[in-house]
Structures are given as C-alpha cells and as structure tokens.
Amino acid sequence: MRFVIARRHALDGPDGINAFIYSLSSALMEQGHEVHLVSTAATDVEVARSRYDRVRFTQLHSLMDGPRPSQREMLKSWINKGIGLIREINPDFTIINGSLAVRLPGPSCAISHDLERNQQNPLIRRLYKLIAYRKVDKVVTTCSELKPLLAKELLLNEAAIAVIPTCVLLDTYRVRPYEEREDAILHMGTAPHKKPVSTIRAFASMKNKAALYITGGTSPELNEAIGKLPMDVRSRINLTGVVSAASLKEMLSRVKAVVVPSAYHAPVASPTVLDGLASGTPVVGSDGISVDLIENGVSGYRIPTGDAVERAAKLDEMIANEKLWRYLQQGSLQRAARFDHQQVARQYVELARQVIAARHN
C-alpha cells in the first residue's frame, strides 16, 4: 500500500509526534509499504536524522520554505499546494497528525494526540476542530481516556473514534539490570507543561542522596528553583542541556527512575513515559499520563503533578527496594511491548483496509 503521513509542522523538531511519525514510517516500510511524509513547514532531513534513530521514507515533501508558518499560511498552503500534491502521490491512505480543515483526496484518518488546547480563543479552536475532524473518514486517538473526551468535544459517537497507540522502536533501547544502574533519576524536557520545578521539589524532599539529571534548555524559573536549594541538593542536580537521541537512551538505561510530572488537559500517551518503559526504567508520572502506559504499582506510579511529597516517597522506595524495582522493571517492559512500532503499523494497515472497504460499499 502507499501511505501519506502528514503534519502541519516541520518534521525535524524534537517532539513526540515526530518520533511517532518516524517510528511508524519505518515500520510500514519494513512491512513492504510505500510512505510519503508531508509537512507544511520546511524540514531539514539531516537534523531529523541527528534526533531520531530511523528516519526512513519513500519521499519527503514540504509545502513551504519557511520553518514556522502561521495558521493562516498553513491552511492556505494546503489548499493551494497540498491537495494537488496528495492527488499526485495518489496514496491508498493518508494519516494526518492533528487537525487539518481541508478535505484531502482519497481515504484518510486524523490522529488526535491530545485535546490540543492552547491559548487561542476556545470557541474558535472548537469550531475549527469540529470542521477539521469531519474532513476525514476516521478519527483516531492514542489512549483510552481521550476517546470519550474527544467524542464529546467533536459531537461524535464514541464508535466513530478508533484508539491506536503511539509507537516506539523497542529494539533501539538498552535495558540494564538494577545492579548496573546509578542511584539517579531522570527528568526529560523543560517546557512549562513538563513541570521541571515539580521534579526539583520532589528531589529536594527525597531521603536518598541520589542524582538528578534534567535534559533540555534552562529557564529563569528553573534556575531560580535550583538556586534556592541547599548546596548539598544543588550539587547533585545535573543540567545536561539538549542531548542526542543516543545520549538520551544511554541515560535512560543508567538511571533507576524517570520522573514525568507533566500537566495536561486530559491524560495522554506521553512519549517521554514510553522512553522510560522501553528502557525498562520505571516511571513516576502524573495523573496526566494515561493508565494505558502507567498502572500504579505495575509499571510505575501516577501521582498528581503538585504532590512533591508522595513523588519523593515513591522515588525513595523504588531506588532502595531492589525487589520492588525489578518487579516494576518487568511491568514496564511488558507494558512497552504494546507500543512496538511493528504492531502499531499493522493496526494502521488494518484501519486503512477497513476505511477503503467502507468507501467501496
């Protein structure tokens, strides 16, 4: 089959949706399919290759030369160029990441990775989504909690929405046993919704004298939070900056816990959590993480974002209790297996076949 995987934004940025796109594209190609990637903004393939393990596609197409087009420019480019490009590629199925208020030629689905709530006018945002998600044959979401919420927001029957998880390249992660790991925890990302200050507060409350690694850029808020800590705690915090995919996976395999206190409008299938699970590293997440990923006491823990005391207690327990840690590692690996890129790709192939068949009836 010939697939198009489309996204409004550039395909070289360091985020979970691009990681998903390249993982899915790789799996589809390994299964013998043709995959065209289409983005609105210009994409630097070499930058993408430096950030992702397998950047595989039949052809990559960018509708615009600039890196950050406005919403208006994006929509205009899809109307003026995107529709014609899709017609020229003539895919059997198009997978759109996010909402696109344009009907593309041929069978298609749109994936809602989260509820996509931002600072723009909520009424305009909802009207846009009501229109956009009716331009495709099927709506897909990535975790069980999002399905009823998205159905309510879009005024759709839940049966009209499929749940297909995001995916990861499991064979690119290294899994180390307890005895080969540091007494250390890892927090990935410093964007506001990642809540790095929440992790710092929990870390400062821990009894165990572990180390903390934080990846990503710094911010005044982050620096201020660290500056208020006692020297003993500060000395054990390592700000690594932005790291390569290889370095990140090495860190994931060396620490004993991943901390994800992220805040979302609704639970999501966090790629950051998947990184931890795939590395056999238990995750102390938040209630913003889907139960599809974290089952309390099985693959990690879900703790409210602001509860630093409980987060610290769970981290201390996991690091000190080898038996518990090994049990959680096994649960993490079993949960990660559900998100293998080959398995998820087969689900999209089956969805494509169902949509194509429905169109012919």
CB 175 within 8 A of CB 199: no
Q: Is the pLDDT of residue 193 over 80?
A: yes
Q: Is the pLDDT of residue 119 over 60?
A: no
Q: Which helix (H) or strand (E) holds 226?
A: helix 220-227
- CA neighbor of 69 nearest in space, from 39, 46, 96, 95: 39
Question: Which residues does residue 109 pair with via DSSP β-bridges, in sequence order?
Answer: 95, 138
Task: Count Cβ atoms within 10 A of the Cβ of residue 60 and give its class: 0-12 exposed, 13-18 middle, 19 or more buried.
Answer: middle
pLDDT of residue 117: 53
| 189 Rama sector, left if φ>0, alpha if ψ -120 to 50, beta otherwise | left
Question: How, if at all, do strands 34-39 and 211-215 pair?
Answer: unpaired
pLDDT of residue 107: 97
Q: Long-range contacts for 29-35 (Cβ within 8 Å, ≥24 apart)?
A: 29/56, 29/57, 29/58, 30/342, 30/345, 31/342, 31/345, 31/346, 31/349, 33/1, 33/2, 33/3, 33/349, 34/1, 34/2, 34/3, 34/58, 35/2, 35/3, 35/4, 35/5
CA distance 302 to 93: 36
What are residue 67's phi and psi, to 5 degrees? Answer: -85, -25
Q: Is the pLDDT of residue 165 over 80?
A: yes
How far, rounded to the nearest angstrom, does the alpha carbon of residue 85 sit from its chain's CA centroid? 27
Tokens of 211: 């180390």
Give pLDDT tens digits for 295-312. Answer: 999 999 999 998 999 999
pLDDT class of 116 with cuts at 50, 70, 90: low
Q: Is the pLDDT of residue 71 over 70?
A: yes
pLDDT of residue 352: 98
Mean pLDDT confidence for 193-216: 94
**Poorest-confidence range of 65-69, 173-177, 218-222?**
65-69
Tokens of 360: 């012919």
pLDDT class of 75 with cuts at 50, 70, 90: confident
Give pLDDT tens digits for 221-277. Answer: 899 999 999 999 999 999 999 888 889 999 999 999 999 999 988 899 998 999 999
Domains by residue range for the chain, with CATH: 2-167+340-360 (3.40.50.2000), 170-338 (3.40.50.2000)
pLDDT of residue 234: 92
Residue with token string 């790291």: 243
CA distance 299 to 328: 5
Q: Which residue has the higher pLDDT, 131 or 125?
A: 131
**Poorest-confidence range of 50-54, 157-161, 345-349?**
50-54
pLDDT of residue 280: 97
Q: Is the pLDDT of residue 185 over 60?
A: yes
Averaged pLDDT score across all residues of the chain: 93
For 31, other C-beta atoms within 10 Å of its C-beta total 12
Query: How many angstroms separate the Cα of 356 from the Cα of each of 83, 89, 350?
Result: 19, 17, 10
CA distance 203 to 225: 12
Mean pLDDT confidence for 204-228: 93
Helical residues (DSSP H) of 78-121, grouped into ranges? 83-89
What are residue 79's phi and psi, to 5 degrees? Answer: -70, -45
